Amino acid sequence: MSEKGETCRHSKTEKIQMKKDKLKKEPTMQFLLEVVEILTNYVKKTFDRSTKVLDFHHPHQLLEGMEGFNLELSEQPESLEQILVDCRDTLKYGVRTGHPRFFNQLSTGLDIVGLAGEWLTSTANTNMFTYEIAPVFVLMEQLTLKKMREIVGWPDGEGDGIFSPGGAISNMYSVMIARYKFFPEVKTKGMTAAPRLILFTSEHSHYSIKKASAALGLGTENLILLKTDERGRVIPADLEAKVIEAKQKGSVPLFVNATAGTTVYGAFDPINEIADICEKYNIWLHVDGAWGGGLLMSRKHRHKLSGVERANSVTWNPHKMMGVPLQCSAILVRERGLLQGCNSMCAGYLFQPDKQYDVTYDTGDKAIQCGRHVDIFKFWLMWKAKGTVGFEQHIDKCLDLSAYLYNKIKNREGYEMVFDGEPQHTNVCFWYFPPSLRSIPNGEESRERLHKVAPKIKAMMMESGTTMVGYQPQGEKVNFFRMVISNPAATMSDIDFLIEEIERLGQDL
């Protein structure tokens, strides 16, 4: 027995050595499976509330190197064993964005089917520009975009669209297409071929509209910011007044962006009233539903985007409210042909007309990109796995949780809501007043001190690693917390935990 045992089994040291030897060789399936083990352990821990959301270090600390984790690149290869350690350390010093208590961004959570979809996408490692090399993905994109257009409410899902690398680029597309629709000669002659073009968007809208106006040569001064009500929604009368003013100055109002779910307040601009004005003055209406588009999947909440079917284009990021892994953003266009007309350059080496299949399926010439990452598969796969009803349940649940948070703190001592009334989206914006601030009368001193509260609490949260939530100022309002919920793993107990944590960390400030 003893002899047999010795020949069959290896000592622990021997096993480690064998593992080391194996890993010195070419990376193989074995190596990949070792990485998978690291990743599945990470995923399990992500969902475990006793795990920290992050293990915070300052840039200089990580740059100096943490116990064997050296970011520097070198001439000679590292062993695969060290590569595995590097993978572990990369995750260790990162942030668990799927953790049930990570509330810092609009994109949170870690959907297992979506993750599997993304792993398959990386394995397929192809490019969306032609049907030739991405037949299945190109068709999935086409069908999914049609489905999204149906949900927007365009007849028979007609129109066009494309997945782009994020909401900012989707919004940029919308401005480009609007310009092409009204002034197609800009494509060949440049902006000097057009009159002075004016864009309109709310003070509360996403900064990508401003980035687009700069990039596309319109100029940020030709982007007019619209006033909002106390809830952050555009005041339509202000839009009309500014349209008239622009026309009187000899400019051409080109484009209005209505936000469906603003970044900070989660406000929905009144699309129907804005659409009336756009129709009256013949202006392109874009709806930026990067954040709020997901609510279209919910019978209970989709009324907040009422009128979206009147838009000429819509941005909708499934990687936000629908829990799809990053990146997944669609720009939808009501009129067919504009995307192609605006962007096509007919590169002969990529889009040969004499291929054996129907080349209208090639998508590359519609894009401002050439190569384009496959963003569709994970979304398609999640839709298959959840069904439309699954997305609806997820969205309704997140909105219920935010209502729970709102009701919990609206009359709680030490809290003040940034705006009155139940939030339209999952954004709950509030100030926390530490006990020492509660007795100070409103005034400059109080404001100055309150402005520092959220950053201080946030810093402590990050250092203790227990939870993460965003904060920012807005206009005249000093720093406040912006809570958002898009994580399917979050529950009421996590909301309770956040509030306890704010109070624990903030009580002595």
491 lies in the binding site for a second copy (CB under 8 A): no
Size of the site for a second copy (CB under 8 A): 156
Binding a second copy (rule: CB under 8 A), the pick from 176, 331, 409, 498 is 176
408 lies in the binding site for a second copy (CB under 8 A): no
Residue pair 317/415 in contact (Cβ under 8 Å)? The answer is no
Question: Helices in 50-153 by DSSP H: which ranges?
Answer: 59-64, 80-92, 112-124, 135-152
Binding a second copy (rule: CB under 8 A), the pick from 16, 18, 62, 241 is 62
Give the footprint of a second copy on residues 312-331 (CB under 8 A).
Answer: 319, 325-327, 329
18 lies in the binding site for a second copy (CB under 8 A): no
83 lies in the binding site for a second copy (CB under 8 A): yes
In the complex with a second copy, which residue's Cβ is closer, 83 or 509?
Answer: 83
Across-strand partners of 289?
Answer: 316
211 lies in the binding site for a second copy (CB under 8 A): yes
The minimum distance between CB 228 and a second copy, in angstroms, equals: 15
Candidates 28-36, 226-234, 281-289, 398-406: pick the segment binding a second copy (CB under 8 A).
28-36
Binding a second copy (rule: CB under 8 A), the pick from 17, 48, 90, 155 is 90
340 lies in the binding site for a second copy (CB under 8 A): no
187 lies in the binding site for a second copy (CB under 8 A): yes
Binding a second copy (rule: CB under 8 A), the pick from 45, 51, 52, 93 is 93
222 lies in the binding site for a second copy (CB under 8 A): yes
Q: Are strands 468-474 and 102-103 parallel, antiparallel or unpaired?
A: parallel
Cα 109 → chain centroid: 12
Instruction: For residue 139, give every residue at least 6 positions away whose Cβ sits within 8 Å of its Cβ, in sequence order, or none.
Output: 131, 361
In the complex with a second copy, which residue's Cβ is closer, 9 or 92?
Answer: 92
DSSP string, 371-420: S----HHHHHHHHHHHHHHHHHHHHHHHHHHHHHHHHHHTTSTTEEESSS
User: Which residue in 79, 157, 102 sits closest to 465, CA to CA?
Assistant: 102
Give the footprint of a second copy on residues 375-404 (CB under 8 A).
Answer: 377, 380-381, 383-390
CA dist 113 and 47 (Å) reads: 15
Q: Starting from the edge strand earliest in sequence, which strands make up the sheet with 468-474, in order?
A: 102-103, 468-474, 477-483, 428-432, 415-417
Token digits of residue 485: 């919920």
The minimum distance between CB 398 and a second copy, in angstroms, equals: 17
Task: Tell me the backbone φ, ψ of residue 146, rounded to 5 degrees.
Answer: -65, -45
The minimum distance between CB 136 and a second copy, in angstroms, equals: 5
In the complex with a second copy, which residue's Cβ is closer, 197 or 234?
Answer: 197
User: Which residue in 235, 205, 237 sits closest to 223, CA to CA?
Assistant: 205
In the complex with a second copy, which residue's Cβ is closer, 242 or 372?
Answer: 372
35 lies in the binding site for a second copy (CB under 8 A): yes
In the complex with a second copy, which residue's Cβ is closer, 310 or 425?
Answer: 425
350 lies in the binding site for a second copy (CB under 8 A): yes
User: Which residue in 62, 117, 140 sits closest to 378, CA to CA?
Assistant: 117
Burial (0-12, 13-18, 19+ Cβ within 10 Å), 29: exposed
User: Using CB under 8 A as the criterion, what x/- string covers residues 99-118 for binding a second copy?
Assistant: -----xx-x--x-xx-xx-x
